[in-house]
Structure 1
Amino acid sequence: MATETGNYRDYQGPASRFPGSAPSTHVRDARLTLLETLIPEIFTAKRCLDIGCNAGRVSCQLAFDFRAASVTGVDIDPQLITQAESLLALRSSRVRPAAHDSQHVVDYFPISAVLKHGYRFEPQGKVSHSPEPSSIPRQWPCVSFVSEDWVVSTNPATTESYHVILALSVIKWIHLEHLDEGLVRFFRKCASSLASGGYFIVELQPWESYEKAIRPNTAPHFQANFQKLKYRPETSFTELLQEQGLDICTTSEALPRRIIVYRKR
């Protein structure tokens, strides 16, 4: 069941898995792998914003596995941000530090070593709402997590210019919470937060997904808002994004949910 903000605890997402793969934190997210295939090195050395980062799985993989220059993960649920900090601490603790003649080696130390000897980098133990988000460690990887409603936030820590903004399995909840006006505001903020030529990545949640969201065992408190919605993901989103200067760059239906990449003019 979804929380009041629409989050699912321990959520992996149907589009993140190929049949038979385990939803483990060390298995590369199929959406990120697909995106790198569609646009080679789309994340490499880029500043990335992961909106609705949940427990931090995608954000951490962007930094550790896809070599993003920096990653900011934002989620409205502080409990999920705490989980994200713990995952960041775990993955940071498994890295072999760089030496004068070698680079960092990701997942070098086994998880059993971390469990036996403890974290090399402890979780922050607090949720950041301040202009200076927490980061573990402060140098590499440059990953930070912030708990906030990004649509209405004016936090300078999450309003810088990004090369890539990801909205994976989250726009539906933003739409249900903030209505059509809030959706337009969200798209406008995404466009203004992107550097010229930057990418906005959408995992499309179809209208039937909205209908399932308001069921009694999911998030029935959104029923009234649902009735007010006029814009629909399959018919309205691309036009709304074009109005904000974002054009379709590429799209794929290789996974259960369509992935669309928009690019800022």
Structure 2
Amino acid sequence: MLDIGCNDGTLTREFRAALLSKGGASKVEAFGVDIDADLIARGQRMYSADEVQLVADDVAAHDHEAQIVSTAKAYDLVTCFGVTMWVHLNYGDEGLLRLLRRLAHCTRGSLVIEPQLWKSYKNAKRRLRRAGANIPESFVSIGVGSQEELDEMVHCALSSHFTGHTKLGTTANWGRNVWEYFDHSSDEASLGGE
């Protein structure tokens, strides 16, 4: 499994444990990647490489070369929680689409993704204005302007790579939808059923 935006790897480790105990897997190789090298270093001190392998990397960067997110469909489960807005705000529409394509290409089974809400984008811009900071051009150049347009952008980008999708639920704290995109042709059962 691969966890994008893994922070210090705590949730990655919990996913691995759940897959081992409740999912019936006998072995789970867990990888986590986050842009924050300090969080990755903290996680590396907290957990053994046998539990989770953590890497500091910016998988949304245009010139991304890391092996952990390769173009070969290598992972049975890829998770991406609370990352899409930051990629979108910092890299624009093309950056978000590039991230979604990379996630789809490295997923062999299921991609579980939690896109942020459009209101969070507006709040991020407001916080910058209040702080007196310049709003980066990437914030201004985003082509979507509503939750519906944002949902459509994410869904269209992922639907071209997967045979199905289902809503797994909504996060309690943030009210964000959690989606699973899956490929039934891989003979893998989806997490949420059909």
TM range (shorter): 0.7 to 0.9
Shift of 1:187: 1.3
Q: Is the 8 A contact 2:2 2:78 kept in 1?
A: yes
2:122 to 188, 205, 211: 211
Distance 2:60 2:161 in 1: 15
1:61 to 10, 14, 18: 14
One-letter amino acid of the counterpart of residue 52, structure 1: G
Is the partner of 1:172 in helix, strand or coil?
Answer: helix
Q: Please say if 1:146 is aligned against 2:63.
A: no
Shift of 1:224: 2.7
What are the equivalent positions in structure 2 for 1:80-95 lying under 5 Å apart? Answer: 80-88=39-47
Q: Is the 8 A contact 2:7 2:34 kept in 1?
A: yes
Is the partner of 1:53 in helix, strand or coil?
Answer: coil
1:173 corresponds to which residue? 86
Distance 1:263 1:82 in 2: 32
Shift of 1:226: 1.7
One-letter amino acid of the counterpart of residue 165, structure 1: V
Q: Please say if 1:184 is aligned against 2:97.
A: yes
CA 1:254–1:207 in 2, change beyond 3 Å: closer, same or farther? closer
2:137 to 224, 229, 232: 224
TM-score (norm 1): 0.56
2:164 corresponds to which residue? 247
Q: Please say if 1:72 is aligned against 2:22.
A: no
One-letter amino acid of the counterpart of residue 160, structure 2: E
CA 1:62–1:240 in 2, change beyond 3 Å: closer, same or farther? same
Q: Please say if 1:261 is aligned against 2:180.
A: yes
Shift of 1:63: 2.3
Q: Is the 8 A contact 1:74 1:147 kept in 2?
A: yes
Aligned length: 166
Distance 2:44 2:77 in 1: 21
Distance 2:83 2:138 in 1: 16
CA 1:184–1:78 in 2, change beyond 3 Å: closer, same or farther? same
Shift of 1:249: 2.8
Q: Which has the larger radius of gyration?
A: 1
Distance 2:124 2:39 in 1: 20
TM-score (norm 2): 0.75
CA 1:207–1:157 in 2, change beyond 3 Å: closer, same or farther? closer
Is the partner of 2:7 in helix, strand or coil?
Answer: coil
Q: Please say if 1:49 is aligned against 2:2.
A: yes
Distance 2:170 2:123 in 1: 21
Shift of 1:77: 0.9
Q: Please say if 1:201 is aligned against 2:118.
A: no
Shift of 1:221: 5.4
